[in-house]
Amino acid sequence: MHDSHLILASGSPRRAQILAAAGIGFTVLVPSIDDADAPADGSDPGRYVMSLAWFKARQVLVEAIARFGSGGPRWVLAADTMCVREGEVIGKPADCESAERMIRSFESRSHDVVTGVCLVDRSSGARSIFADSARVSLGTLSPEALARHLGTGAWRGKAGGYNYSDCVAAGWPLGCDGDPETVMGLPSRLVLPLLAKERGA
């Protein structure tokens, strides 16, 4: 789906689905920044994910000039998500074994998921940056359910090694105190009013 207003600076299918479900058209430009290599900061996770969202947006702003010149979509929307378990930052798993360790470490306890969002106006350079968090609880997961998840490769590219909505649909004993879309990487309840305000500016 294309639109004359918005670039989604993310390769996340879930973020794209959230925007599409809300009726927002967009063009995708994926930043080449590897946030898995960024030094994690568990002391201020909100600031950390906001910084990474800004870095992604800034990189795509440069790419947008090369692709569109002074024209093209006016806004760039970027986001970054991470899990925090008892003060420890849990990023994206490097392999199947690390995904298994991450998910098992979440069992029978709660962890926080924090998403940072950055919206930049290409015409003025103005930017809006915020973070939102939710608390996720996971009960005891059967070995069969985890093996199915690991076997499909669904852990790849996911903070904490899982996608909330997919795992809920698969019957995982998951609960969320907060916005599930924050866990999925893009809280539309906060993004859509911001887009509406900017479009009306």
DSSP string, 95-144: SHHHHHHHHHHHBTEEEEEEEEEEEEETTT--EEEEEEEEEEEE-PPPHH
Q: What is the reported pLDDT for 2? A: 40
Which helix or strand (DSSP H or E) is residue 70 part of? Answer: none
Residue 62 and residue 191: Cα distance in Å, rounded?
A: 22
pLDDT tens, residue order, the chain (201 aa): 344 589 999 999 999 999 999 999 999 999 987 655 555 556 788 999 999 999 999 999 999 989 988 888 999 999 999 999 988 888 889 999 999 999 999 999 999 999 999 999 998 889 999 999 999 999 999 999 999 999 999 999 888 999 999 999 999 999 999 999 999 999 999 999 988 876 554
Give the active site residue among 34, 37, 41, 80: 80
Residue 37 annotated in active site: no
Distances (CA, A) of 75 to 18, 62, 122: 17, 13, 6
What kind of architecture, by CATH, is found in domain 6-199?
Alpha-Beta Complex (3.90)
How far does Cα 102 stand from its chain's mean position?
A: 18
Helices 143-152, 96-106: inter-axial angle, 10-degree rounding:
140
Name the residue ranges covered by the structural domains of the chain. 6-199
Q: pTM to 2 decimals?
A: 0.89
Q: What is the reported pLDDT for 146? A: 96
